[in-house]
């Protein structure tokens, strides 16, 4: 059973809330549904795009094809041992609902990823991350359908070739597979990751456990990130750049306060928010688009912005950071 709508408004189906529409919008509810859809002329004769919560998209115009959305929603514990569990979630499960379930069950590993918008399927494509944790750290394998053949295929975590906000599904296999479920490996006796950003400080005097970590992460994100229903946005618009240690050491001489996070003996990650802030972009606007006052990584739809406004603002920020620091920053958001 699938639901098909024509000329579907997308304003409430992506978090920038731009007034765009799709020629067709299709929601499916099972693996068999998507297999059957792939045999139809609707998908054979038209471009199509799989979306999740629409939290990482910038639609440049109306989409003259088919928007697909997964309604596959279930959570099952598939393996339960003394030390860990494997939990399988359908691709349409809201990500933060899933994290809330894991924390409630006492399964550790995803708590730092609380309150990230989007859905389970997108988590495995995007390799979402926050506060020193990436979803690749807990993914066991990813269940998919091959678009060309309709065959089911399972990718191990290694086969997904995860990188920083990156995976094989965003590169070599972009558009070639549709994620239907993801299996995660969670710990019953978790190691806590508290040393990234101000997470430990936010926990304060509270006991350290899954619940308090999740609560602290949510508090931080709510304080720094605008509600998309108030100001449309896609969360963090830019990725944190990774640069060689040698380049960082030279920059440190000129900007001694420049922070970094060590990746290995050769590379460090620089907070893009710091670069954008120090370049003077906080609160600046182009058209109806603006840099958020509380978090420079976030570009907002402040006053009926167009996609062109957002792109122009992003481009100017990228150029400014490059000119000032010699560092290239790149959008995390996908332009459609």
Residue bearing tokens 């549709």: 178
Residues involved in catalysis = 165, 236, 332
DSSP state of 136: G
* Helix axis angle, 210-224 to 95-105, nearest 10°: 150
- What are the tokens at 223? 């304080």
Please compute, for residue 332, the number of CA atoms within 13 A of its CA located in the half-sphere on the CB side.
25
Question: What is the Cα–Cα distance from 290 to 293, expressed in whole angstroms?
Answer: 9
DSSP state of 172: T
Give the number of other Cβ atoms within 10 Å of residue 204's Cβ.
Answer: 8
Q: Measure the N-to-C terminal CA separation of the chain; round to a whole number of Å.
A: 28
């Amino acid at each position: 059973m699938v639901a098909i709508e024509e000329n579907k408004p997308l304003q409430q189906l992506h978090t920038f809330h731009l007034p765009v529409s799709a020629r067709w919008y299709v929601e499916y509810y099972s693996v068999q549904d998507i297999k059957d859809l792939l045999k139809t002329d609707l998908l054979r004769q038209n471009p199509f795009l799989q979306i999740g919560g629409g939290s990482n998209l910038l639609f440049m115009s109306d989409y003259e094809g088919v928007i697909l959305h997964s309604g596959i929603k279930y959570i099952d514990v598939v393996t339960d041992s003394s030390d860990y569990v494997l939990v399988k979630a359908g691709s349409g499960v809201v990500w933060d609902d899933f994290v809330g379930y894991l924390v409630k069950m006492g399964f550790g590993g995803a708590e730092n990823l609380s309150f990230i918008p989007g859905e389970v399927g997108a988590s495995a494509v995007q390799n979402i991350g926050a506060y020193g944790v990436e979803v690749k750290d807990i993914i066991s394998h990813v269940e998919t359908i091959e678009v060309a053949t309709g065959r089911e295929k399972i990718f191990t975590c290694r086969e997904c070739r995860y990188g920083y906000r990156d995976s094989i599904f965003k590169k070599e296999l972009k558009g070639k597979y549709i994620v239907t479920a993801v299996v995660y490996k969670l710990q019953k006796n978790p190691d806590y990751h508290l040393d990234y950003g101000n997470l430990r400080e936010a926990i304060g005097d509270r006991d350290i456990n899954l619940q308090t970590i999740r609560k602290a992460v949510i508090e931080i994100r709510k304080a720094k990130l605008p509600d998309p229903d108030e100001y449309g946005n896609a969360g963090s618009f830019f990725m944190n750049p990774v640069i060689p240690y040698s380049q960082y050491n030279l920059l440190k001489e000129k900007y001694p306060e420049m922070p970094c996070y060590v990746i290995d003996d050769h590379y460090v990650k620089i907070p893009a928010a710091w670069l954008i802030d120090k370049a003077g972009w906080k609160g600046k606007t182009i058209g109806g688009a603006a840099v958020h006052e509380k978090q420079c990584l976030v570009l907002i739809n402040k006053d009926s912005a167009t996609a062109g406004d957002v792109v122009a603002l992003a481009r100017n920020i990228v150029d400014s950071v490059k000119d000032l620091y010699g560092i290239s920053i790149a959008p995390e958001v996908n332009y459609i």
